[in-house]
Structure 1
Amino acid sequence: MNYQATMEFIGRANKFGSILGLDNIRELLNRLGNPQDRLKIVHIAGTNGKGSTLAFLASVFKEQGYEAGRYVSPASFCYEEKFRINDEIITKEDLCFYMEKIKKTAEEMVRDGKEHPTVFEMETALSFLYFLDKKVDAVLLETGLGGRLDATNVIKHPICTVIASIGYDHTQYLGSTIQEIAGEKAGILKKGCPAVSYDNTSEAREVIEKAAEEKNVPLIFADTSRVTILSENLEGSVFSYVCADGTEYRNMEIGMLGEHQIFNAAAALETIQILKKSYIFRQDSIRKGFKKARWDGRLQRISAVPAAFCDGAHNPDGAQKLLQFLQKNFTNKKIIYIMGVLSDKDYPQMLEIMSSMSDEIYTVTPEGDRALPSGVLAEAARPFYRKVTEGGSLGECYQQVKKECGQDDVIVVFGTLSFLKELRG
């Protein structure tokens, strides 16, 4: 298949939707030779912070001279960026080669009376084949939805599992309580495999601890009480942290914005301590890796004057972290929101959370079939905001707001990661 045919095949396969369960992915991978069983994998689940935590780890691997494969979703700019080794995304030629192999296997499955794999299942299989052939030193693997029944959970022997921040999202699939959601995320824990968890709420923590005990999993929580924040501003943060094993990291610099990124970094440091059993990480590589780590679309500054930020906050937990950043840095500034979300998100709660820092919001419709129409979002916003404007396309809306606002005002674009591509045009 050429690139156009490959993308058309992926588009047609979208009709198979998103199905939780491991039977299909096991069948697909078994027919492909189970490449996942020959990879050294760090597996991460969580509501928010998965990508940021892996960004810290990936940057450290690169600084140390290793090659780390990363499979993440959604993509911000192009489809190929879901599959990357260090900073390099998969080539179109490699994408076509591996997807054609998977297409033939999927067709064989259907002929044999099996279900056709979903797009996410095929992408997961593609990542394993690609990373195995490229002989990466490690795979940093992010769940798509949940954990226990997520296609990535087909792996049997990860070298470490990580659970990031847990909040409310995808409740129609994962449960309506933090305990239920945490139980699904904790489903990635494997017997005897060491695990690290973000410093989650007590409700989530109890569930994770119980799951770890049942599976004889050595579990470490990144402890926020051992974090000392030395500075935090619009350029990044400096902090010190003492790991559970007593290792102290002083004056660690990170460029990713927000206090929550400091806590993601603490979880990454605890993970590194575990990975030292399998890899060599020098102190300078860790420091340089953390300082250089970036993750597009996560509290990313996109303009200096007026100050403008884009954040992929797409659920209440993400909105709360974004609000904390604004409260810390822009209490006496006029803030203007531009928001667009997917229809399955808890946008009423997000609107309410964010309203304490602004009374002006523009609503837009993101790209994609799941997008919530801007008019629906505008109606939901009116009880919380004095001025609500339907803004048309994001690009036009953003440029309009930039022209109309003052130089000291702050623009915040949030709600979905697809915005980053639209903003860059």
Structure 2
Amino acid sequence: MTYDEAMNFIQNTNKFGTVLGLDSIRELLRRLGNPQEQLRIVHIAGTNGKGSILAFLASVFRESGYRAGRYVSPASFSYEERFRINEENISKEDLCYYVEQVKKEADGMVKDGMDHPTMFEIETALSFLYFRDKKVDAVLLETGMGGRLDATNIVSRPVCTVIASIGYDHMQYLGNTITEIAGEKAGIIKEGCPVVSYDNDQEANEVIKAAAEAKHCRLDFVNTAGIRILSQSLKGQSFSYRSSHGRWYEKIEIPLLGTHQIYNAATALEVLEIIKNYYCISEFQTEEGFRNTVWRGRLELLSEDPEIFCDGAHNPDGARCLAEFLRNNFTNKRIIYIMGVLADKEYEQMLEETAGIADCIYTVAPDNPRALSSRKLGEAAEKYCETVYIRKRLASCLEEVKEKAGKDDVIVIFGTLSFQKELQGKEMWNDTRK
């Protein structure tokens, strides 16, 4: 199978849409020999912060000499980024090989009268095969959507289950209340397997507690009272932390910006406390791992003159975290938004959270088939901001904004992770990484 043939097959599975449930993935993996049962897996669900928590853990594993496989969706810069071992994407040759293996069994399912697996099911099965054959030491596995009926929930015995920040997203599938959404996320909790949870709102925490008790699991919440912020700047931040286990971390430095990333880092520290029986990770390796974490497009400073940030905020909670960061750091500066969203997102609530900070808003349509038109987003933005400009695409809009912006202005690109790929190849991505 050639690379083009592999990609055509994967893209064609888009027509099968999103199908929640485990029957299809269970059958597909059975035919492939259940590779997931041969892996040590950290399984994480949540609305926001999943990728950041996994990025912290992956960096610590790398510093400790372990090989960690990371399966994330969607990818930001290239398709192969979905399947990574440490910081290396799957090769095109390996991708073709594993697509061919999965396609063979998917075709067999159809021949036997079953539904064809969806794209996400194909990719999930591929990731398990790849990581098993490469004999990784750990798999950091992120749910695609929700948890209970997500294809990744086929995992039966994770070494740790993690619940990240819970908020409103994918409500057409997961429910209209935090309680309902938390119930779907907590659906990844397995009998007797330890659970680590972000300290969410009380109603979400109660759902997680009940799910953990029903499955006889040890549950550790992030000790919010044990976090002490030591420093915050546009170059990074540091904090001390007393874990729920009583361990004291005097100074953890992280390059990711925004107070919410400190809470994500604390969640990762709690996970490391749980899995220490499986891995030998020193305090120095932990500190180095956090210090060297890279997670692109999350409040990433792309340029300093003028300051340009790209952030993946694509739901109300993400927008709230972005707004908090801007208020804390740029109270006396003119802020310009370039915003684009996918049509199924809660963009009105995102605007409510962020628009009051902006001097003006430029709306664009992401290069994505699910994109909301820039005009429709612009009309919504006009309810919250007096100065709104409707443009077509990010690249030309950004050039226009850079020409008009003063050196002390702040430009913020946000609304979808799709923007990261659109910015790929621009020299500005490397301006601040010296």
Equivalent pair of 1:340/1:377 in contact (CA under 8 Å): yes
Task: Render the CA deviation track for 1:73-103: whole Å, top value 9, x for unaligned.
Answer: 1111110000000000000000000001111
Distance (Å, rounded) in 2 between the aligned partners of 1:66 and 1:14: 34
What aligned pairs does 1:298-317 form with structure 2 within 5 A after superposition?
A: 298-317=298-317
Aligned length: 425
1:217 alignment counterpart: 217
Distance (Å, rounded) in 1 between the aligned partners of 2:88 and 2:94: 12
What aligned pairs does 1:310-325 form with structure 2 within 5 A after superposition?
A: 310-325=310-325
What aligned pairs does 1:260-409 form with structure 2 within 5 A after superposition?
A: 260-409=260-409
Task: Render the CA deviation track for 1:288-324: whole Å, top value 9, x for unaligned.
Answer: 0000001111111111110010000000000000000
Distance (Å, rounded) in 1 between the aligned partners of 2:359 and 2:202: 33
Task: Render the CA deviation track for 1:99-128: whole Å, top value 9, x for unaligned.
Answer: 011111111000000110000000000000
Q: CA deviation at 1:384?
A: 0.5
Task: Give 5+ residue unaligned stretches, structure 1.
Answer: none
Q: CA deviation at 1:392?
A: 1.8
DSSP-derived class of the 1:378 partner: helix
Q: CA deviation at 1:356?
A: 2.0
DSSP-derived class of the 1:220 partner: strand
TM-score of the aligned structures, taking structure 2 as reference length: 0.97
Q: Which amino acid aligns with 1:322?
A: L
Distance (Å, rounded) in 2 between the aligned partners of 1:393 and 1:367: 8
1:132 alignment counterpart: 132
2:151 alignment counterpart: 151
Distance (Å, rounded) in 2 between the aligned partners of 1:296 and 1:102: 30
Distance (Å, rounded) in 2 between the aligned partners of 1:333 and 1:225: 32
Q: Which amino acid aligns with 2:124?
A: T
Distance (Å, rounded) in 2 between the aligned partners of 1:331 and 1:359: 12
DSSP-derived class of the 2:378 partner: helix
What aligned pairs does 1:54-69 form with structure 2 within 5 A after superposition?
A: 54-69=54-69
Q: Which amino acid aligns with 1:102?
A: V
Q: Which amino acid aligns with 2:259?
A: E
Distance (Å, rounded) in 2 between the aligned partners of 1:238 and 1:111: 56
1:242 alignment counterpart: 242
Q: Which amino acid aligns with 1:213?
A: E
Distance (Å, rounded) in 2 between the aligned partners of 1:304 and 1:30: 52
TM-score of the aligned structures, taking structure 1 as reference length: 0.99
2:84 alignment counterpart: 84
Task: Give 5+ residue unaligned stretches, structure 2.
Answer: 426-434
Task: Render the CA deviation track for 1:218-256: whole Å, top value 9, x for unaligned.
Answer: 000002111000011101111000011111111110000
Asked if residue 200 in structure 1 is aligned to residue 200 in structure 2, the reply is yes
Equivalent pair of 1:227/1:240 in contact (CA under 8 Å): yes
Distance (Å, rounded) in 2 between the aligned partners of 1:212 and 1:374: 43
Q: CA deviation at 1:424?
A: 2.4
Equivalent pair of 1:148/1:186 in contact (CA under 8 Å): yes
Equivalent pair of 1:359/1:384 in contact (CA under 8 Å): no
Distance (Å, rounded) in 2 between the aligned partners of 1:359 and 1:180: 37
Equivalent pair of 2:239/2:253 in contact (CA under 8 Å): yes
What aligned pairs does 1:25-104 form with structure 2 within 5 A after superposition?
A: 25-104=25-104
Equivalent pair of 1:230/1:238 in contact (CA under 8 Å): yes
Asked if residue 15 in structure 1 is aligned to residue 15 in structure 2, the reply is yes
DSSP-derived class of the 1:303 partner: strand
1:419 alignment counterpart: 419
Distance (Å, rounded) in 2 between the aligned partners of 1:326 and 1:225: 24
Task: Render the CA deviation track for 1:164-190: whole Å, top value 9, x for unaligned.
Answer: 000000000000000000000000001
DSSP-derived class of the 2:74 partner: coil
Distance (Å, rounded) in 2 between the aligned partners of 1:265 and 1:25: 32
Distance (Å, rounded) in 1 between the aligned partners of 2:189 and 2:11: 33
Distance (Å, rounded) in 1 between the aligned partners of 2:21 and 2:198: 25
DSSP-derived class of the 1:372 partner: coil
DSSP-derived class of the 1:413 partner: strand
Q: Which amino acid aligns with 1:9?
A: F
Equivalent pair of 2:356/2:385 in contact (CA under 8 Å): no
RMSD, matched Cα: 0.6
Distance (Å, rounded) in 2 between the aligned partners of 1:365 and 1:358: 19
Q: CA deviation at 1:18?
A: 0.9
Give % identity.
63
Distance (Å, rounded) in 2 between the aligned partners of 1:226 and 1:337: 35
Distance (Å, rounded) in 2 between the aligned partners of 1:127 and 1:12: 19
Equivalent pair of 2:362/2:389 in contact (CA under 8 Å): yes
Distance (Å, rounded) in 2 between the aligned partners of 1:152 and 1:31: 16
Q: Which amino acid aligns with 1:334?
A: R
Q: CA deviation at 1:203?
A: 1.0
Distance (Å, rounded) in 1 between the aligned partners of 2:6 and 2:202: 46
Distance (Å, rounded) in 2 between the aligned partners of 1:222 and 1:361: 36
Task: Render the CA deviation track for 1:117-142: whole Å, top value 9, x for unaligned.
Answer: 00000000000000000000000000
Q: Which amino acid aligns with 2:95?
A: L
Q: CA deviation at 1:359?
A: 3.6
